[in-house]
Structure 1
Amino acid sequence: MENLGYYNGEYDLIENMKIPMNDRVCYFGDGVYDATYSRNHIIFALDEHIDRFFNSAGLLKIKIPYTKDELKDLLNEMVQKVDCGEQFVYWQVTRGTSMRNHAFPSDEVKANVWIVLKPANIKDMSQRLKLITLEDTRFLHCNIKTLNLLPSVMAAQKTEEMGCHEAVFHRGDRVTECAHSNISIIKDGILKTAPADNLILPGIARAHLIRMCKKFNIPVNETPFNLKELMDADEVIVTSSGQFCMAACEIDRKPVGGRAPEIVKKLQDALLNEFLEETNKIWEVTYDSRRVNNIKYRRKSR
């Protein structure tokens, strides 16, 4: 299969899948999601993404009908079913299927689980990005990876119209995050990134960047920074699951960054190597009579 969709135990090519109209996602965007990439049919940083997924669902009081291990097993099985090993791996849970009503349905209504797999590669980190800034008019729960993405959709459209790659949100003078990414800056050899409060999504790639900086003894400052600091930074770094450490060259048509390329390259190389090493592990197939298709995939130790 080139791509694959999954909905509550049924799967097929994405274009063949059908979703009930009364799934609460259709009316309210009532759900949460997470996403990452796979290489060699191995999902990168899966434990961290699953932890964030369960945290987002818990904050919205959505009961995921799987344990963390069960969901990980399901995702690992799904990526083995597609032809290409380089995949964008997306999953979401919605509160369930019931007649339209703003209040939660009864506990008898079970949550719906979606999975979408499609061929995709991580971004070429040698490319420098063009950014724009936009006032952050989203809600105050940016830390939840909710399905309510209309503000990000509108920002993405504005970004495309401006011939740029990403939009940087700010609330007043405080820089928060991008429409689809986290944003950090390097100044005087120090990485500065917004604190993981309710105004940003705690990005998995952001966490990896912080850990890599600490590994290389690059100081990390997790405090708010403003628009002036953004424009005056030695480097502006954009991070997400598909672009681990991308440097910007322009914001609002003004040149930025380019003054600490050796730090950027060092971090890019290390983060790429981390991805390649984790997704280069060997899989073994074991029999498990408890699962419907009797197959379970686990990584071999080396």
Structure 2
Amino acid sequence: MKELAYYDGTIGTPEELTVPFNDRVHFFGDGVYDASVGGNHKVYLLEDHLDRFYSSAKALDIKIPMEKKELGELLTRLLSMVEGETHFVYWQVTRGAGARNHTYGDDMTGKLWVMIRPNKLNDPDVPIKLITREDTRFYHCNIKTLNLIPSVIASQKAKEAGTDETIFHRGDIVTECAHSNVSILKGGVFYSHPNDTMILRGISKTHMISACYRLGIAVIERPFTLSELMDADEIIVTSSSNFCLHANQIDGKPVGGKDPVSLSRIQNEVISEYLSYTGKNSLFD
């Protein structure tokens, strides 16, 4: 199978599957999701992603229809059914199906969705371009919900500007990107916004911080400003499918490029963890 879709126990292609009209996702975006890379038919950092997935569902009182171990086994089995060596693995749970009403019953069981398709990882040696935008999203960014319209709009604005991603800020404080985390290197120190309600706790960012500790690179988790962002030695953007990208432009102004040695060390360490975990020989095969 080249691309797989799963809904509530049924497996097929995305074109074959149908979803009940009354699934609450259609009316409220009422659900949570997670996603990772599949390499050599292994879901990368599966346990980390499952932990976040179940935490997000619990925060919204959504009942996932299976235990964590069973879901991990299901994702692994579904991934084995898809052709190729590198994949995008996405799963979500909605609150369930029922007549449209803002309130819901205690007996409602979640509906599980899975989508797996071929994926290609971006080259971390190729710099990306960024823009900035005031962060006016809701104040529960730590929950990975399906209500992504603000992020969709910000991503579209970045595309229209000919850039790759949007950095959000609240006032002068940098938070995160539309669908990534952003951190900086300055004076040999790695700075990153703390894991509070203003950002989603990025699993890739968390593992990058661990990589810094292994490399002996000092880490400070505190809010940093737009001025610090623009003056940083390196600007690093991470997500589950882009482990350690770096920026060379923000709002049309050149940035970064001042500490390529530290950047390369972090990139190599993060990539090595991925290759070791998946058993792959290369980031791109």
State if a TM-score over 0.5 links the two structures. Answer: yes
Q: Distance in 2 between matches of 1:143 and 1:199?
A: 7
1:27, 1:266 → 2: CA distance?
46
TM-score normalized with structure 2 length = 0.97
CA distance in 2, matches of 1:119, 1:70: 24
> After superposition, what is the alpha-carbon deviation per residue over 1:18-72, rounded to whole angstroms, capped at 9, x for unaligned?
1111100000000000000011111100000000000000100111111110100
For 1:263, the equivalent position in structure 2 comes to 262
**1:50 partner SS:** helix
Q: Deviation of residue 103 (structure 1)? A: 1.0
* In 2, Cα distance between equivalents of 1:123 and 1:201: 22
Alignment of 1:84-233 (within 5 A): 84-104=84-104, 106-233=105-232
- Distance in 1 separating the partners of 2:132 and 2:256: 15
C-alpha deviation, 1:107, in angstroms: 2.6
Query: SS of the counterpart of 2:15?
Result: helix
Distance in 2, Cα, partners of 1:250 & 1:15:
39
CA displacement, residues 249-281 of structure 1 (integer Å, 9 cap, x when unaligned): 000000000000011111111111111111018
Q: How many residues align?
A: 280
Post-superposition shift, 1:108? 2.8
Shift in Å, 1:123: 1.7
Measure the CA separation in 2 of the matches of 1:168 and 1:272.
24
Determine the structure 2 residue equivalent to 1:67: 67
CA RMSD of aligned residues (A): 0.8
Percent identity, please. Answer: 51
**Separation in 2, partners of 1:155, 1:164:** 11
TM-fit CA distance, 1:121: 2.0
* TM-fit CA distance, 1:154: 0.2
Question: Separation in 2 of the partners of 1:198 and 1:39?
Answer: 31
Is 2:63–2:108's contact at 8 Å kept on the other side of the alignment? no
Task: Quote the residue 2:13 is aligned against.
Answer: 13
Q: What are the ranges of 5 or more consecutive residues in structure 1 without an aligned counterpart? A: 282-302
